[in-house]
Structure 1
Amino acid sequence: MADAGSGRSVVPVNGVERVVRVRLSTGHGEFLAVGYRDHALGQEQMLLVHGDIEGERVLTRLHSECLTGDAFGSRHCECGGQLDAALCAITSEGSGVLVYLRGHEGRGIGLLAKLQAMRLQADGMDTVEANIALGLPVDARDYTVAADMLHDLGVRSVRLLSNNPRKGEALLRHGIKVAERVPLLIPPSEENLAYQRAKRERLDHDLPHLDAITEHL
């Protein structure tokens, strides 16, 4: 891993400035939390590093912030399950990185707009139709800051924990090679089966496990 210093601010790499690192003990294991300031968007960002990472083929998760799923365990989506599964995979591997991307709530539309979209989905729209009905982008996420933070760590290629091929394409555009995409498949619940199917059919997510699921759980 690239030297994270003693916690002092360092010269920004591209648009991010590494500000602090601190050991973080979690229910999944021990991590090094590294905090950054994103000068381009004025946001604070964080990633977790487990073990000693090398520059190549680093097991990596880019996790988009989801307050309802990550903090409250919402069954509307599988985000909380993916976060847990990614941390488990990284600790089981013995090393890896989880990049937690703030500002990605609701695929980038924000918390309140996401809640409005959820209300429309409760009335029968899918996740794509709901965003469009609100006059918002289907997916407004940008992964520049994720690539900047990985560059700062000295990561050159990743094994990407994701079902979304667009994440890998974004990293490639920013100079991070994707050596492999590792599935992160979460069994659907009755509440999020339609949501996961919409992600597969409308957003090109690779979710082959849904083929064996009947319409009603």
Structure 2
Amino acid sequence: MQHEPRVASTTLRTSRGEFNFFCFSWGEHEEDNVLCLANRSGTANLGGTDLAPLCRVQSACYTAEIFQSVDCDCHEQLHTSLAMIREHGGVLVYMLCDGRGAGLFNKTLGLELGRTDGLDTSDAYARLGIPQDPREYSRVAFALKHLGLLRIRLLTNNPRKIDGIAQHGITVERCALEIASTRESESYLRTKATKMGHLLSEFEGEEIGRPEGTF
């Protein structure tokens, strides 16, 4: 069983407004931290109405969020979520684990296979023997419970994320967070929908398959 983390908090002023900022630290490495931006104002604040607060649980995507790569929707999902949480209240939980939990090194290997061999992200992970989505949400659930949240409206298109959080005693209602594809991101989003089961209406009805290897 994991020990309880150290918790630090402050107020963070951002271009989207002021948030309560929390850092939950389970160890000395950055990836042992879970970050939260909480907005207790808005039409659906943290537990202040009968409507469950909005919540976005996002894993790091340094290639898009720092270097502004255009091949995925991660940057847009992050900022769309922050705008919604700023308006309506809620919390954004940020996991410092890139590559859907596989790590930035493995993600980079997968991106190179896409460049050299034409593999999508799912098939690239399968070629490398990496699980498609190894993320685990016990630390996210701890952070939510620390903030008094046992019921959330989760901004996501990923059924695995819903199940992964719900199994830790959080009641989860899904709110869609769909970003329209661009010429650069269409392949990535189609792979999410057709090979990883993400709920994306843009690709509804397309054949669903699975890559070889671990899933």
**Is TM (by shorter chain) over 0.5?**
yes
In the alignment, is the contact (CA less than 8 A) between 2:34 and 2:140 conserved in 1?
no
2:91 counterpart residue number: 97
The equivalent of 2:212 in structure 1 is none
Which AA in structure 2 matches 1:29?
G
TM-superposed CA distance for 1:126, in Å, is: 1.4
Q: Alignment partner for residue 67 of structure 2, among 43, 68, 72?
A: 72
The equivalent position to 1:124 in structure 2, one of 101, 114, 118, is 118
Matched, 1:161 2:155: yes
Q: TM-score, normalised by structure 2?
A: 0.85
After superposition, the CA RMSD in angstroms is 2.2
Q: Deviations over 1:14-48 (max 9, x none)?
A: 64424211111111111011111125x97122111
Unpaired runs of at least 5, structure 2: 206-215
Corresponding residue number in structure 1 for 2:23: 35
Q: Which residue of 1 aligns with 2:33?
A: 44
The TM-score normalised by the length of structure 1 is 0.84
Among 168, 172, 175, the residue aligned to 2:166: 172
The whole-number CA distance in structure 2 between the counterparts of 1:141 and 1:190 is 28
Structure 2: how far apart are the matches of 1:15 and 1:189?
A: 43
Whichever residue aligns with residue 120 of structure 2, its letter is D
1:65/1:15 Cα in 2 relative to 1: closer, same or farther (>3 Å)?
farther
For residues 31 and 16 of structure 1, the distance between their equivalents in structure 2, rounded to whole angstroms, comes to: 24
What's the CA shift for 1:89?
0.9
Give the superposition deviation at 1:202.
Answer: 0.8
CA distance in 1, matches of 2:130, 2:76: 26
Aligned to 1:185, the other structure's residue is in SS state: coil
CA contact (8 A) 2:33 2:95 kept: no
Q: Distance in 2 between matches of 1:149 and 1:196?
A: 29
Q: Find out whether 1:63 has 2:58 as its counterpart.
A: yes
Q: CA deviation at 1:210?
A: 3.8
